[in-house]
Amino acid sequence: MVTWNRSTVRNDDVELAVFHLDAPDAADERPTVVLVHGWPDSHHLWDHVAPALGEHFRVISYDTRGYGESTRPDEVSAYRLEHLASDLFDVIDEVSPGEPVHVIGHDWGSVQLWEAVTTPGAQDKIKSFTSVSGPNLDYLGEWAQGNLTNPTPGNLGRALSQLASSAYTAFFQVPVLPQAFFNAFGSEKIWTEFLHAVEGTPRENVSFAPTLKEDMISGLRFYSANIREKLAKPDPRPTTIPVLELVNERDIALRPAIYSRSHEHANKLWRKNSDTGHWLPYTNPDYLSESAREFIQMIEDGTSSSPNTIDRARRLGPAQKLGGKLAVITGAGSGIGRETAYALAELGCEVVLADINAASAEETAIECKAKGVLATVYELDVSSTEAVNEFAERVRRTHGVADIVVNNAGIALAGSALAASEEQVDRILAINLRGVIAGSRAFGRQMVERGTGGHIVNLSSASAFTPQRDMALYSATKAGVLMFCESLRAELADYKIGVTAICPGIVHTNITSTTEIVGLEDADGNRKRIDDFYARRGFTPDKVAKDIVKAILANKAVVPVTPEAKFGYLSYRLFPWGSRLAARVKLAK
């Protein structure tokens, strides 16, 4: 159990119960962090977050007015956001006189912190703000009105999606009924089971004040006092205080699209998206505390970037679906790997680029950095499982746990399977199949342990389902990748980790010009003819990269890319005998 040390702060007629994680110590010079809860919680919301933060900072929380051990004014007007912001400033003056603090807010706690950081002079009291599942209501009103005045199908769809998610707020503002409902069903047991059913919140992580039912009813005044006015007459004010938005993509109440205007008003904005739900302090307290710690330390150090956190002030906008995510790409020095790195960087990902040829990966990194993101290069030979495991651990220590992993590195081998040497067989198996398995396992374990989802993309090939007489060994490795992906996808589904097999057909990359050909005369001539054919085909790797991005966003299982790959995927399932006959055609002479 967490032990909180209680004190009291007064703001006119309101007494606020303030809680210190440790006994107040005037000699403690660590940065101060103030945690602000939302509905229907109390300071106990932070019981599983505060200890991790307490290893680095002075941690303070308080029961906001209307909750827990604080005063519950009767007048609805007493719960307007300007009064809530005033409460916060009084708490800060008491716990950290003359020194600005870092603030973290969830739900209505985040909403009132947005009000505070957009109040003139707030920079004298607040050093940074980590926002979880709570928008600026003025920005939300501006977003909603913009979608309604520009009623494109996309805008209307986003607005209707949020309207459906927020339907409960209308019920909360109806007289009498919501009070009666929570009086009847607002028990700790029912609420615990609700959270567990809705987003899998571990029952043992849920911490409530003894006043939970009273808090549910009293907290309804937050909705009545603020929502209608803010949505009808938004007054979006700017802030210069650094803000980190932790966006939960499975939030049942708040759709990610509503944060798309934040960057227009917060000129120092960072963002991290994760496949998580609304009650992040309960479901993933370690992820929340580590993300906040990284961000706060970054601000304290005066730097512009930190592990897994990207400075989005210049480019963050509605299109930055992957903004703030960490992507790892192997074989990033050329071809599909390079173009995938460009595509992910364009969408706001920090990219970690691995290649056996570090110099070529450095060239990729230069272009990625030009797109405004962090890019780091590592030399890696994926044929060594030990090297892959060491690389994954180094990425975790240096950058954080990857959100996206693209196991792209691969080689080709053409000609007779019987004529290939044992060394050639071992090498193609080690790189194309074992390398993919090693990368998926190493990074997959980290994603599972973190508990906030992720996505693994593995490069298979149309050769996985279109047999060819001169590509037996290559096809075997790619078929192995395909079935590995299908099976791993099933295994990781419970952890919200997607797995995709990308199956390109004829794509012109440098792999064709370096393909080893065995068992045939005039290997150099055959290689040139194959390379020339691929060049004439004209399907470039950037088109594959676009499909990879689409697959990540849509969480697709198997993606045949080129027209011939799509035809081959269909025909092999419907007419396998036709594929077997076609396999007898000689591609090389």
Give the mean pLDDT of 186-196. 92
Higher per-residue pLDDT: 2 or 513: 2
Instruction: Kindly report the CATH number that applies to the domain delimited by 5-301.
Output: 3.40.50.1820
- 5-301 and 400-582 in the same fold: yes
* pLDDT attached to residue 267: 82
Higher per-residue pLDDT: 584 or 313: 584
Higher per-residue pLDDT: 100 or 272: 100
pLDDT confidence band for 332 (50 / 70 / 90): very high
* pLDDT attached to residue 306: 42
Q: Does domain 400-582 have CATH number 3.30.70.120?
A: no
Task: Name the catalytic one among 223, 287, 378, 474.
Answer: 474
Q: Is the pLDDT of residue 186 over 60?
A: yes
How much is the mean pLDDT over the chain? 87
pLDDT confidence band for 542 (50 / 70 / 90): very high
Domain residue spans of the chain: 5-301, 400-582
Residues 401 and 308 sit within 8 Å (Cβ to Cβ): yes
* pLDDT attached to residue 39: 95
Structure tokens that stand for 132 in this block? 């979880």
Strands (E) across 468-515 are located at 497-503
Under DSSP, is residue 296 helix (H, G, I), strand (E, B) or coil?
A: helix
Max mean pLDDT among 96-105, 190-199, 248-257, 369-378 falls in: 96-105
Q: Is the pLDDT of residue 559 over 90?
A: yes
Q: List C-alpha distances in Å: 276 to 104, 281, 288, 452, 555.
A: 17, 11, 11, 6, 15
* pLDDT attached to residue 382: 97
pLDDT confidence band for 318 (50 / 70 / 90): very low
User: Tens of pLDDT along 496-512?
Assistant: 999 999 999 766 566 65
- Residues β-bridged to residue 490: none
* pLDDT attached to residue 510: 62
Higher per-residue pLDDT: 578 or 375: 375
pLDDT confidence band for 316 (50 / 70 / 90): very low
User: Tens of pLDDT along 28-43?
Assistant: 789 999 999 999 999 9
Q: Sheet holding 101-106: strands in order across?
A: 5-11, 14-20, 58-62, 32-36, 101-106, 126-132, 243-248, 269-274
pLDDT confidence band for 579 (50 / 70 / 90): low
DSSP 431: I
* pLDDT attached to residue 314: 33
Annotated active-site residue 474? The verdict is: yes
